[in-house]
Structures are given as structure tokens and as C-alpha cells.
Amino acid sequence: MAFSGSEVVLYEKRDRKAYITLNRPEAMNALNSAVRQGLLDAILDFRDDDQILVGIVSGAGGRAFSAGMDLKQRAQSDQAASPSREVSTTDNRWTELGVWKPIIAAIDGYCLAGGLELSLQCDIRVATKQSQFGLPEPRRSLLAGYGLHNLSRMIPLGHALYIQLTGSPITAETAEKWGIIQEIVSDREALMERVEQIADDIMQCAPLAVQAIKQIVMQGRNLPVEYSIKLAQPISQKIARTEDRVEGPRAFAEKRQPVWKMR
């Protein structure tokens, strides 16, 4: 399945998971306007389909998750008399769009600039050992978007500034050590196997509780604790009134797997 009349973003739904694949391997999955629009369309469909519980984002080809902005298209746009404004993944931050379902990034190869920023919008990141990470925008007199504002909130300031000010890539081992990614695996086959395992683990949990957790964490992480607690109260009360809240303890007491109804 593809959006926007193109094949540059592949979208598949199976086993209650959404698979979103950037599909410009010849261009290292660079984010041109078609990819950005297709990605946005896929994310909105993922958000709105109640049968889908977890998203997995990857890049085709084995060379890159994404090398970031399509600089050739950007150069052409800069030369145009009235350049049109591209749909941007960073203009449409997924949490601002109300995407509270968990998303896993499966990273294989270069994860740079807008590609790194795309992965940072995901909740869990797993990468192959060959992968590299960086924000090289200042080497082209550009500024990062999501990464500029959020990387230092996710990892120590010194590490974030090293990535942002040097434009130099870091290895998967360094990215794991600094907390950008959560796991390293040997190759692409192991990568997809591992992200499937993580998705399956997530789906053992009550879907509404999982989405509530993500919403509370993402909206409250930059607030003082007392405000974050106040933010969480109505969300927690809503979960406490669900049938699934009763089902979880009951299933434990009856020594069976819970049956989540999402209500």
C-alpha cells in the first residue's frame, strides 16, 4: 500500500502492526516532498485505525534508514522564484497530531539529519551495528528542526552539542552509550526480528494504558513534576474506569492471558 500516488513510502498493516517503509533506496531514503507527504499520510492512518496498535518505521535498501533532507530538491526550491513550502515531518510532530500509539524505529545504515530527527520521534530505536547517526545540517548552513530542540532533552547536553556543533556522525556503539538508541543488533535480519519481539511485548499490555503512558510522558516530561502529576490525573482516571482495568487483575487471578477490549 502506498500514499500520494507514489511508491516512495510503503505502508502495510498486519497482525495489528503498521509497517512504514521509506522506499527511496537509490537516494538513501532522502526526505523529498513526496516522502514527507506519504509519511504524514501513513502516520495519520496509523493514528486513526483502532485495529492497529504498534508502528514500525524502517528504510529500504540496507544502506540508510534515511540520510535526511533531499538537498537536490532543496537547491531547486531555493532557485525557484516562489519556492513552495514542503510538508515537513518536523512541522507535523507526531505527538502534536495526537499519535499516542507506540512507534519503533528499525535503523539500518545511515541515520542522518532529518532521518535522525525522524527516528527521534519514534519511542524505541533499535539499530544494526553498521548504522551511523548525526546532524550534519550546519555543514550546509542549515539548522536542524526536531533534533535541534529535542536532542538535548533526551541525552546529556554535552553529547547533544557535540552532535549538533560538529556535524560529525557517531557510531551505533556511541549512540547506544549516549542513549540515542536502545539496542544494537548484528544485521538487518536480526533487526527486524528484534523489533517484532518488542512490538509483541508492547501488545501484551493493555492498549489504552500504553497510549495513556505515552501521552503522559511526552506531554509531561518538560513540566515540573507537580504539573506533570496534575496533567496525568484525568488521563489516569479515564483508564481506571475502563473494562480493561478490571480485566487485567482478573486475568492474573484466573491465571490466563487478558483479553483487551479497548474500552
- The catalytic site residues sit at 117, 137
Contact 21, 10 (CB under 8 A): yes
Distance of alpha carbon 214 from alpha carbon 235, whole angstroms = 11
Q: Which 8-state DSSP code applies to residue 182?
A: S
- The candidate with the shortest Cα–Cα distance to 40, out of 9, 13, 16, 61, is 9
Contact 58, 25 (CB under 8 A): no
Q: How far is CA 206 from CA 13, 121, 154, 178, 213, in A?
A: 20, 22, 26, 30, 11
- Using DSSP, state whether 260 is helix, strand or coil: coil
- The candidate with the shortest Cα–Cα distance to 42, out of 69, 14, 2, 7, is 2
SS3 content of the chain, % helix, strand, coil (to 5): 45, 15, 35
